[in-house]
Amino acid sequence: MAERGRGWARAVRGLLLDVSGVLYDSGAGGGVPIAGSVEAVRRIKASGLKLQLCTNETQATRESFVRKLRALGFDISVAQVTAPAPAACHLLRERGLRPHLLVHHDLVPEFAEIDKTNPNCVVLGDAAENFTYANLNEAFRLLIGMEKPVLISLGKGRYYKETDGLKLDVGAYMKALEYACDIQAEVVGKPAKTFFESALAELGVPPEQAIMIGDDIVSDVGGAQRCGMRALQVRTGKFR
């Protein structure tokens, strides 16, 4: 049993970690680290395991997200973060799509290089305070006015936990627009297979030698398993 345990652990070369609810609880003033998580990241890096943060957080650019994590004590670089916005930009370029953005103010710079004139799709992120009645109606009208509406969603999470309580996540607003327009969104964050594949490519580790750790049974655990990884659900964050 002990032998088997060691064998299993020896085969692991890379760790993928969800961030919100695993490393910290987000919220006003940058949020707070979850007890033991700063030390855990330090020990993972010291052990020689490869580490990649795999987040659906879309309330900031990767640069400012990493600045926030470093301020909380996590020794992380931008290259160690896989996030939906760069994945979305890749897809927009590939397909010649010009987005109308319904995203958080602080995420907008990620789309600086993308042509946004005369939109032919809507990109939806966790817009938080930008999820106003007027902004949702505007995104809806653009979609319903398209011959073939294209809605790209930076995730499909139901809700997440901030320091002041649970918040509706982008998935809820995605469902609202899907229903109103009778369409299916394309999801580019977790649990999309391509998203986990690009995180593994960053690590240079095959799926069978990687473990995903997250607090969301669908986005984190389900997505990773469909990609051939093992996955663990932690009981922090939004776990109920």
Which residues bind to a second copy, rule: CB under 8 A?
A: 128-133, 136-137, 140-141, 144, 158-159, 165-169, 171-173, 175-182, 240
Q: How many CB atoms lie within 10 A of CB 138?
A: 14
With CA atoms as reference, report the closest residue to 189 among 58, 16, 50: 58
Residue 159 pairs with which residues in a beta bridge?
Answer: 168
Q: Which residues contact 44 (CB under 8 A, 6 or more apart)?
A: 15, 51
* CB of residue 131 to a second copy, shortest distance in Å: 5
* CB of residue 19 to a second copy, shortest distance in Å: 20
User: If you search the block for the tokens 């990620």, which residue do you land on?
Assistant: 110
Cβ nearer to a second copy, comparing 50 with 161? 161
* CB of residue 236 to a second copy, shortest distance in Å: 17
* CB of residue 21 to a second copy, shortest distance in Å: 15
With CA atoms as reference, report the closest residue to 220 among 23, 12, 73: 23
219 with 193: CB under 8 angstroms? no
